[in-house]
Structure 1
Amino acid sequence: MTTQDTSTTTRSVSVAPPVPAERLTFLGESTDGTDSADSADSIQATTRTLERGGAPWIPVTGEVHYSRLPRERWSEVLGHARAGGLDTVATYVFWQAHEPTPGDFRWDGNLDLRAFVELAATHGLDVVVRLGPWAHGEARYGGFPDWLVERGLRTRTDDPAYLDLVRAFYGQTIAQLTGLTHAEGGPVVGAQIENELYDQPGHLATLRRTAEDLGLRVPLWTATGWGGAQVPGTLLPLYSAYADGFWEESTTGWPEFSAVHYRYSAVRDDLTVGADLREALDGIVLEQGAQAPLDRDDLPFATCELGGGMHVAYHRRPLVTADDVAALALAKVGSGSVWQGYYMYAGGTQRVGPHGTEQESQATGYPNDVPTLSYDFHAPVGEHGQVRRHHHLLRRQHLWLADEGARLAPMTVTVGGGSADPDELRWSVRSDGRSGYLFLTTYQPSAAPISAQPGVQVTVDLDGEQVTTPTRPVDLPAGVSVAWPLRYALAEGLVLRSATAQVLARLDDVVVLAATDGVDVELVLEGEVSVAGAGSATRGDDGHTTVVTLARTPGRGCVVDLRGGAHGAAVRVVVLDDTTASTLYRLEVAGRERLVLSDAPVYALDGDLVLHTDAPQATVSLLPAPEGLEPVGSSNGVDAPAGQVRDDVRGPGAASPWGTWTVDVVGAGTHRVAAGLRPDATAPAPARGGPVDRLSAPTDWTGAARVHLDVPDALLTGTDRALLRVAWTGDVGRAWVGEHLVSDHFWHGRVWDLDLTPWREEVAAHGVVLELLPWVGATGVRVDPAVVPAADGVEVRSVDVVRVARTVLRADDHGVGQSRPSSVSTAGAVKG
């Protein structure tokens, strides 16, 4: 029950402890006992949570398509995924890629599923294999081979002729996974059957039985559940949530149902995702205004497609931002999600097969034309390895879930407030009855922003104790989403009763919190607590708490030393500012886990740090600090004499508990090759096509502008990767190196990146030619209103070569376990 005093805007809520969960026996390997509940790393499911090793578990999974990435980039992408806080990757097995002609199965090169799964394991990642046979993934015929489509079988049904072909494909796929399943000590923990199949539950059940008959044993069997899908009881339905969708009409603004995903809600389903395909391919039309089903208390709330970004189609090109992605993800946690799965986590490039490019198109029966090559998806890790801001924003949540998942997963959700009214505070509480988290949000995408909230204060009844946070009402700025702790155990007997800062991570006796811009940090501790460092303490009004405010600005040097509890436990609380919080990692370096602050994207490999950056200088801090940090390689193609160090590392820094080093990165930087171009171009007549008569991508390029770019060879060598970054305005672009089409781009307001690295010699010989069609507003293509061009035509504002360097740093571990003494001034101890 919730109440609200409208005069003071104080909210209150009573939460009940969770009811006992029941084990689900239909999902895993209970048929032969290979993953029994008493095994050390068993994976089980209950009606409320997933469990691993007997403890509740919140998996964090990101979609990475091995067959759409160069094999030599797999390790880098998986490294960033693991550093981003993922513990699992999911991947489609596209039938068309593996059996291009009947009976000719290919598992070589970047089709080597087994090698990809093994490499994921070396990065500490488990794998969910999305088996198909129909996959979607914006692939031609949903991933079906052309020869299969041409046979005219009743696909996606129990038609015997179709099932015979599926059995052969499944058999080949499962053979690649022999010895790699969880029951065999390997990383494969789950399998998804089919994809977006709404009205064939019997067929889904048949596919699972077929996979098991062929020897696949995994703990988790799943199917997509959105769109009101009928999922058989032998599969766990997983859900989706996107900030926007390219599958909507060009006349649609921000999709109405997307707003639900920014409120705390029991709604799991989204009837809009793939609705055009349901109608065009399956003939399923949901009634206008149909409501998605509410929370099911007999199955855990799990997702596999939280939008990590958004693809574009010719007719509609959404501009989903990093903040959109992060706020949506946290809203799902505040609504009860116990499995965070992202689509996509890493972008890629559409394959080219024996019948040409393998993207979905109106020519292959889809409602939409999408780019022929680019499948960037504006994912946290881009098509060419670009590490984007939402990789960092999401990592903040994932570090917290890794620490708190076992406590958070079984917690109940109480939605305190938040309707479609933009002036109403949106909030919820996840609680085990004695502790938990208060979720608050004032975030919604810029198409429909919501208001700041003045005077926010919430009282939560936890097992008869009233916890009020903050102790004085605060104004919550617009555009923020937070999860504030309630009765969080810092150490035995040392309890953080409430805080107006978010828990990021903990390591040994160090707990890291993140401040929110515009909200003063307040820490309330139970009982008598000694406070030193960057904290200023007073006695709470109730006489039983210690209230701590900060005596210095949040940042890496803002360290509050606490000592209290029956055993005098000591904890260091580091309070980071919002910007620095997005540079925090927890990585295994030189034989132990460390907290790492890095302003360059970084991951761990064999105990070393690997930096990928286009900046000529980077700063890295570690806690506990090693004695030293030295470069051991750059892999940037720099022709240096053996043993010569070309990356200069300086440090350590002072005035902080962190050891800090500055890295001069060889081979990184951005170099302009063209700017201020306004070439003439003529647009072809607009056309429509496909099953729902949408705008079609142009096929007539006779009127396109042709921009020839000479790229000096010196910009292509001596670095790990060279991207051509085009800031332009127009309609559709194509890039050619000699006779090779190397990239395409539906302009949507962001820069166009293409990787020149595989074409270095050809670029040096022939340069790059951009073919650009002009923007014509009257055509009716939908782009975000914030970026609609002021005039028709083509404008190339700039073309840069972005040189991305790879630098490997190794820590001297003689100082393992030692942290540098803080230089933060000590405040007087105050006892509550």
Structure 2
Amino acid sequence: MTHDALPVARPAARTLRAGTPEPARRGHLAFGDPEGAPDRIEVTSRWLERDGRPWFPVTGEIHYSRIPRERWSEVLGHAAAGGLTSVATYVFWQAHEPVPGAFRWDDNLDLRAFVGLAARHGLEVVARIGPWAHGEARYGGFPDWLVESGVGTRTNDPAYLERVRLLYAQIAAQLEGLTHADGGPVVGVQIENELYDQPEHLATLREIAEGLGLHVPLWTATGWGGAQVPDTLLPVYSAYAEGFWEESETQWAPFAAFHFRYSDVRDDLTVGADLREALDGIVLDPEAVPLKDDSALPFAMCELGGGMHVAYHRRPLVTARDVDAVGLAKIGSGSIWQGYYMYAGGTQRVGALGTEQESHATGYPNDVPSLTYDFNAPIGEHAQVRPHHHLLRRRHLWLHEDGHRLATMAPVVGGGSDDPAELRWAVRTDGRSGYLFLTTYQPVQRPLPAQPDVQVTVAFDDDEVTVPTVPVDLPAGLTTVWPLRYPLADGLVLRSATAEVLTSIADDAGDLVVLAAAEGVPVELVVEGRVPVGGAGRVTTSSVSDDEATVIELTAEPGPACVVELPGVRVIVLDRASANRLYRLDVAGRERLVLSDAPVYAEDGGLVLHTEEASCTVALLPAPAYLTAEGAEVAAGVDDGPWRRWALVVPAAGSRTIAAGLVPEAPAPPEPVRGGPMDRLSAPTDFSGAAQVVADVPAEALAGVDRALLRIRWSGDVGRAFVGDRFVSDHFWHGRAWDVDLTPYAADVVEHGVRLDLLPWRAATGVWVDPSVRGVPDVVVIDAVEVVRVARVVLSPGRAAPGTRRRT
């Protein structure tokens, strides 16, 4: 079915029984802290607990060894502001022991320093200690010397285990005193990665690590692909919207549609199937995969696709809305731990033998870029903040607010087969309250239709809730979650709402709850009982009895100043754009809500912004009397409903075009070549016949700014960037702009410029790109080359007289 022939949705009565879930089983799993431990972490059959309270962690993958050490704090700051509670990170063996016995933990290999810095940003850590990692690294992160030694890797071969003990001893030493048992930030360890048929080996690896002093409450292993995970490790799962590892003839990855629906099935047998076959010789028969006792284990995610990498033969264009929709679908399906791969991109390492990416040359089925590992993650390779950072932050604000209740709620799927005309919906419930999940979203390859006359009745143990009170039309492309019997304040229950819960806070006037309107759906709030309503709300007539509930509609458009006044609480209903600008941060010693046009995080009681724009606004609630700024001009604050808003002028930020409208000729592009174990298209290595363009960058474009990016808007096949003779970046064109960080090479850039070696697009080669960007000409086209100046602004509350304008 093509996207120009949408199915027709069929209205239907929708009722679901949402009774009390089975009690959680305890004491049967080999994870968690011992009884009596401080801040005890416990793993039940249905959720995680912390100090006796249900806990819903949010983890994002960030590879310290692929990010310049001077950028660690910025990336971790944005990750914390994005609502992560922890970061996961691979410990790549090849980076740390390039020569047998000569371990390195210096510069951006300093694992201990990275963990400590994460803790300073309020983040905990899950260490993915291998020994085999994958991560699109050469030999899965194994050192070349280990591969060449002939030992039986990824098995209990004694010679291999001897080398593993040396590695694990080094890691344990790096993490000494930093584990949860010692009051530190390391709460979990993942053993190996994507190992499907060696459960005894996985169990042995945990025994070795613990024997060397590494003690954590959470021990995990990847569980997808029918993996045989021993009962000493918690299986964790993946969900991607697309995959570069599919064939170039595949128009949409066959596993993708499943991840946009609600389901009680956790596993996916197709993700990474090419690697299983190529490296391990395993071809799974879905009928032969052993069943897992999922009722004994909570549903935890570790690799929700935060974006998607590209290979030479196949280059997906995963969007921010794809990422958000998959993540919310997994919460609706019962996830109790959201983990993203990747959350921040990076750059492939260069070792003594060259770049360390996976490739046909090292036996992999895919050629990936030599340097860039951007992954189109929420935070990019050069700390660019992407739209899905904001979409995911909305979900994480909600999990921070109500995750302790949501974690105990069991999923019940109301509808959503593979029939695209059927409404996809589910409920998570504790038997008396819950959340209703609804989606009409799927990528452009297989879009879903709008759903007319939607109304759902959820039968709890003691009552039924019908939402909305009058059927509404759901627009196509919507993914949302609505509260059912949500406690707003003491004695006041939000029976239902056609809006999302974001967060809550208190100011001098009392408590505030923040909701977000669902795009294209009128906001209806239904409060249990008869209550007075003021502000931007009014009581409307309804089929619901006045004694049973008060039905409220808005008298103002959703936005920061849309405040509904109820007994004991005010409800702010934000529009979509404002909700995507919302943060909850510690500013000047207290939690505050922040609305910011520019990416922002908290540091030392103030706010740090990174912006490409010469002007932006920031609003706070509760607001300090005034703000001062380093790196910007800040005007006096203006009150806007319960917020105070400041306008900033940032002279250092902005973009400058240095070239445009170029069609450089590539005199002799190489012929296509195939390789690797699955005979896929190989990345070109001969650039002698490439088009060459030198971008001359004036010194003033690089001076006086935190970071300068060269942004190339182009179409073609493969590009490489050089500063002098130094290879600094590469790009497999897939429809997005190509960013090159010029900051580390600024002096050489001014002297030499940036040389771009560019190969032309040739449709006949058979490389797969997204349908939305196909049809480009069989040449190199450069629409524009820009220098993007990213400025750093530090905002501090209360350090100047009100109304003062200051520029530093």
TM superposition score category, shorter chain reference: over 0.9
Matches within 5 A, 1:165-204: 165-204=163-202
* Aligned-partner Cα distance in 1 for 2:167–2:190: 15
In structure 2, the partner of 1:558 is 562
Shift in Å, 1:13: 0.9
Shift in Å, 1:651: 2.9
In structure 2, the partner of 1:748 is 734
Matches within 5 A, 1:396-475: 396-475=394-473
- Is the CA contact 1:268–1:293 (under 8 Å) kept in the aligned structure 2? no
In structure 1, the partner of 2:696 is 710
Would you say 1:806 and 2:808 are equivalent positions? Answer: no
In structure 2, the partner of 1:521 is 523
In structure 2, the partner of 1:73 is 71
In structure 2, the partner of 1:664 is 649
In structure 2, the partner of 1:55 is 53
* Aligned-partner Cα distance in 1 for 2:513–2:293: 34
- Is the CA contact 2:620–2:643 (under 8 Å) kept in the aligned structure 1? yes
In structure 2, the partner of 1:720 is 706
Would you say 1:532 and 2:534 are equivalent positions? Answer: yes
* Aligned-partner Cα distance in 2 for 1:729–1:19: 55
Would you say 1:693 and 2:679 are equivalent positions? Answer: yes
Flag the 1:689–1:720 CA change in 2: closer, same or farther, 3 A: same
Matches within 5 A, 1:264-343: 264-287=262-285, 296-343=294-341
TM-score by length of 1: 0.93
Secondary structure of the 2:639 match is: coil
* Aligned-partner Cα distance in 1 for 2:627–2:290: 54
* Aligned-partner Cα distance in 1 for 2:574–2:682: 49
In structure 1, the partner of 2:254 is 256
Letter aligned with residue 689 of structure 2: G
Shift in Å, 1:383: 0.1
- Is the CA contact 1:266–1:294 (under 8 Å) kept in the aligned structure 2? no
* Aligned-partner Cα distance in 2 for 1:120–1:106: 20
Matches within 5 A, 1:215-230: 215-230=213-228
2:513 to 495, 507, 511: 511
* Aligned-partner Cα distance in 2 for 1:314–1:204: 33
Shift in Å, 1:39: 3.7
In structure 2, the partner of 1:12 is 15
* Aligned-partner Cα distance in 2 for 1:557–1:358: 52
Shift in Å, 1:292: 9.6
Matches within 5 A, 1:612-631: 612-631=610-629
Flag the 1:59–1:7 CA change in 2: closer, same or farther, 3 A: closer
- Is the CA contact 1:155–1:162 (under 8 Å) kept in the aligned structure 2? yes
TM-score by length of 2: 0.96
Shift in Å, 1:286: 1.6
- Is the CA contact 1:627–1:813 (under 8 Å) kept in the aligned structure 2? no
1:796 to 757, 761, 782: 782
Flag the 1:165–1:294 CA change in 2: closer, same or farther, 3 A: closer
Identity %: 67
Shift in Å, 1:14: 1.1
For 1:569-593, what per-residue CA distance to the aligned partner results, in whole angstroms no more than 9, with x for missing partners?
x111000001110000000000000
In structure 2, the partner of 1:84 is 82
Letter aligned with residue 663 of structure 1: L
* Aligned-partner Cα distance in 2 for 1:37–1:572: 41
In structure 1, the partner of 2:3 is none
Shift in Å, 1:812: 2.0
* Aligned-partner Cα distance in 2 for 1:289–1:501: 42
In structure 2, the partner of 1:828 is none
- Is the CA contact 2:11–2:452 (under 8 Å) kept in the aligned structure 1? no
Shift in Å, 1:666: 3.0
Aligned alpha-carbon RMSD (Å): 1.5
Letter aligned with residue 13 of structure 2: T
For 1:100-124, what per-residue CA distance to the aligned partner results, in whole angstroms no more than 9, with x for missing partners?
0000000000000000000000000
For 1:678-698, what per-residue CA distance to the aligned partner results, in whole angstroms no more than 9, with x for missing partners?
011132110000011000001
In structure 2, the partner of 1:766 is 752
- Is the CA contact 1:621–1:661 (under 8 Å) kept in the aligned structure 2? yes
* Aligned-partner Cα distance in 2 for 1:290–1:534: 59
- Is the CA contact 2:31–2:232 (under 8 Å) kept in the aligned structure 1? no
In structure 2, the partner of 1:677 is 662
In structure 1, the partner of 2:211 is 213
Shift in Å, 1:26: 3.9
- Is the CA contact 2:451–2:475 (under 8 Å) kept in the aligned structure 1? yes
Secondary structure of the 1:157 match is: coil
Flag the 1:292–1:812 CA change in 2: closer, same or farther, 3 A: farther
Which range moves more in the overlay, 266-275 or 276-285? 266-275
Flag the 1:385–1:225 CA change in 2: closer, same or farther, 3 A: same
Flag the 1:292–1:744 CA change in 2: closer, same or farther, 3 A: farther
* Aligned-partner Cα distance in 2 for 1:124–1:70: 20
Letter aligned with residue 22 of structure 2: V
Shift in Å, 1:663: 1.0
* Aligned-partner Cα distance in 1 for 2:471–2:289: 36
Which range moves more in the overlay, 285-294 or 534-543? 285-294
Shift in Å, 1:271: 1.2
* Aligned-partner Cα distance in 2 for 1:813–1:590: 11
Letter aligned with residue 248 of structure 2: S
Would you say 1:739 and 2:725 are equivalent positions? Answer: yes
For 1:610-660, what per-residue CA distance to the aligned partner results, in whole angstroms no more than 9, with x for missing partners?
0001001111010001111111x33xxxxxxxxxxxx21113213411011
Would you say 1:650 and 2:635 are equivalent positions? Answer: yes
* Aligned-partner Cα distance in 1 for 2:10–2:203: 56
In structure 2, the partner of 1:786 is 772
* Aligned-partner Cα distance in 2 for 1:718–1:7: 59
* Aligned-partner Cα distance in 2 for 1:555–1:167: 57
* Aligned-partner Cα distance in 1 for 2:311–2:91: 23
* Aligned-partner Cα distance in 2 for 1:290–1:785: 36
Shift in Å, 1:741: 0.3
2:489 to 466, 470, 491: 491
Secondary structure of the 1:310 match is: coil
* Aligned-partner Cα distance in 2 for 1:483–1:236: 28
Flag the 1:433–1:216 CA change in 2: closer, same or farther, 3 A: same
- Is the CA contact 1:651–1:659 (under 8 Å) kept in the aligned structure 2? no
Matches within 5 A, 1:544-583: 544-563=548-567, 570-583=568-581
Would you say 1:28 and 2:26 are equivalent positions? Answer: no
* Aligned-partner Cα distance in 2 for 1:560–1:262: 34
* Aligned-partner Cα distance in 2 for 1:26–1:288: 27
- Is the CA contact 1:268–1:294 (under 8 Å) kept in the aligned structure 2? no
Flag the 1:191–1:8 CA change in 2: closer, same or farther, 3 A: closer
Shift in Å, 1:8: 5.8
In structure 2, the partner of 1:96 is 94
* Aligned-partner Cα distance in 1 for 2:291–2:777: 45
* Aligned-partner Cα distance in 1 for 2:522–2:229: 47
Flag the 1:24–1:688 CA change in 2: closer, same or farther, 3 A: farther
* Aligned-partner Cα distance in 1 for 2:237–2:583: 28
Letter aligned with residue 686 of structure 1: P
- Runs of at least 4 residues of structure 1 off by over 4 A? 288-295
Shift in Å, 1:288: 7.0
- Is the CA contact 1:269–1:293 (under 8 Å) kept in the aligned structure 2? no
Secondary structure of the 2:294 match is: coil
Shift in Å, 1:600: 0.4
* Aligned-partner Cα distance in 2 for 1:773–1:8: 51
- Is the CA contact 1:535–1:548 (under 8 Å) kept in the aligned structure 2? yes
